[in-house]
Amino acid sequence: MTNVKKVEIKTVSLNTALIIGLIALLIGFFGGNIYNAYKLDSAGTSQNPSMNTPIQDSGRMFALEQQLKSNPNNAAAWMELGNLYFDANKSQDAIRAYTQYLSINPNNANVWTDLGVMYRRVGNPTEAISSFDKAMEQDPRHEHARFNKGIVLYYDVGFQDEGIKVWQELSKINPNFRTPDGNTIEDLLKNR
């Protein structure tokens, strides 16, 4: 007669498996938050600004608003506030902040471009185009102002020929300019 060992197989109930999975998720969540907390500098902001949380950005927005009440001519604070509102998709607030900045320092092509993008988001293509034109007055080779002006002309106001012309001018400045989807401006023009 052969010795046969009887093996007992234990199973885990579905409820137990779900609880174990939930515990593992919670450990991962809290562990990630603790890890992120160690990455914060002494000011309470991430070493990498793109890792700031909406709560951190909201707190920074509030602090800047308070600071600007006592020092409304602080151009850098207006620009930072505009950028935070831009990233938070608070277009009207970004327009207000960028407009205040530009009343102090009207020579910043990047801020004119960001203002134009915000005007586009709120459905005001006329002001968007005007802002892009002002950016190009400051910097005739400003690539993003040209690209965005072409977008507004082509898609928003239906002036496809004028939009293509703006993109062709951009192509002469930088034929390797990349659109947000990763294509070159040359590729964009070939597909029109």
Q: At what angle do helices 109-121 and 91-104 cross, to 10 degrees?
A: 150
Model confidence pLDDT, tens digit, residues 136-167: 999 999 999 999 999 999 999 999 999 999 99
Confidence of residue 32 (pLDDT cuts 50, 70, 90): low
Q: Would you say 122 and 92 are in contact if contact means Cβ atoms under 8 Å apart?
A: yes
Confidence of residue 14 (pLDDT cuts 50, 70, 90): confident
Which tokens belong to 12?
């885990």
- 40 three-class SS: strand
Model confidence pLDDT, tens digit, residues 64-86: 888 889 998 999 999 999 999 99
**What's the topology of domain 53-190?**
1.25.40
